[in-house]
Amino acid sequence: MKARLIAVPLVVVLAIVAALQGSEKRVHTTYWDALGGVYTACAGVTGPGVVPGKTYTDAECEAMEVGYVRTMLAHMGRCVTAELEFYEIKAWGHFAYNVGTANFCRSTAARLLNQGKNKEACAQIAKWRFIKGKDCAVRANRCYGIVTRRAWEESTCLGANG
């Protein structure tokens, strides 16, 4: 099934939210994410819907996560107009959820996707392993989970975890 990012069916949005459960811990109370410098809740949701001091139910978290992913995909669809396979949307949605839509849209990967060079775009994912200048491939930097996440995204992007 192919679709444009701007018009992704709900089943794909739900698949991305489900995939995020493996990499984003759902936290029911709002917390300050010092790395991102932003209030965060549920599975990494940020933005105006996140209220400092609030505790969220699972249903509220799921609704926020679904809304966040829908909005994110629509924004991604403004910079990538090519139709993508379900597994590619799942991978790129998972990726952009972590790095941000603006960073995704400015990336070489987005440009390659628009050129129809999808495999080359997937190969770009592994390059996004740095956090605040630290190479997460170096285990001593204590962010190796990013490397694991990128490996999952790249293999999904190539169809291995469709």
89 occurs within a structural domain: yes
Asked if the structure places residue 52 within a domain, the reply is: no
Q: Quick check: is 74 in a domain?
A: yes
Q: How many distinct structural domains can be found in the chain?
A: 1
Domain that holds residue 109: 2-24+59-157
Determine, yes or no, domain membership for 96.
Answer: yes
List active site positions.
24, 33
CATH code (residue 144): 1.10.530.40
**The residue to which tokens 């070489």 are assigned:** 108
Of the candidates 115, 114, 84, the one whose C-alpha atom is nearest the C-alpha of residue 16 is 84
- Averaged confidence pLDDT in the chain: 92
Q: Is the dihedral of CA 71, 76, 77, 79 positive or negative?
A: positive
Could you report the per-residue pLDDT of 35-65, keeping only the tens digit for each?
778 899 999 899 888 999 999 999 999 999 9
